[in-house]
Amino acid sequence: MERSGHILTRREGREKCFWLRREEWRFLITWPAAGDSRAEFAIWVDWAARFRALEAIWQFLRNPGLNAAAPAVQAIELRACLDQWSPAYLREHIPTPPGINGAAMVESVLNDFCKLLQ
């Protein structure tokens, strides 16, 4: 990629830094930024984190006996599932309101997760 001339690099000790010239990539601008009428570059999405979250929720939802369990038990199981995720990722994408528990907590998290998938 560096040899193409579109990716620039420089060495800083043992580290190699990469960057792009913004004006050379203007052809990628295709849609406006949120709340702005001017065109902006697409936003990078951490798909690996989203897929890990999807897998964790899938494992939670396919837990045998989950539907028959009391809402408090469902919430405990869901909190154990969420403990596997990055705290920063949860704060940004699935913010659980403080003091919420039981069925309300499960519903809130699953609703936020559905929004994340859209």
Q: How many CA atoms lie within 13 A of 99 on its CB side?
A: 0
Q: Where are the domains of the chain?
A: 2-40, 47-117
pTM: 0.53
C-alpha 113/C-alpha 78 separation (Å) is 12
- Phi/psi at 108 (nearest 5 deg)? -60, -45
Contact between 54 and 117 under an 8 Å Cβ cutoff? The reply is yes
The helix (H) or strand (E) run that includes residue 91 is: helix 87-93
How confident is the prediction along the chain (118 residues), in pLDDT tens digits per residue? Answer: 778 777 889 888 889 888 888 777 766 666 665 666 665 666 777 888 888 888 888 888 888 888 889 988 888 888 888 887 777 777 787 877 778 888 888 888 888 888 877 7
C-alpha 5/C-alpha 73 separation (Å) is 57
Q: Which residues, 6 or more positions from 89, have their beta carbon under 8 angstroms from its beta carbon?
A: 46, 49, 53
Find the distance separating the first CA and the last CA of the chain, reported in whole Å.
32
- What is the predicted pLDDT for the residue at 33? 59
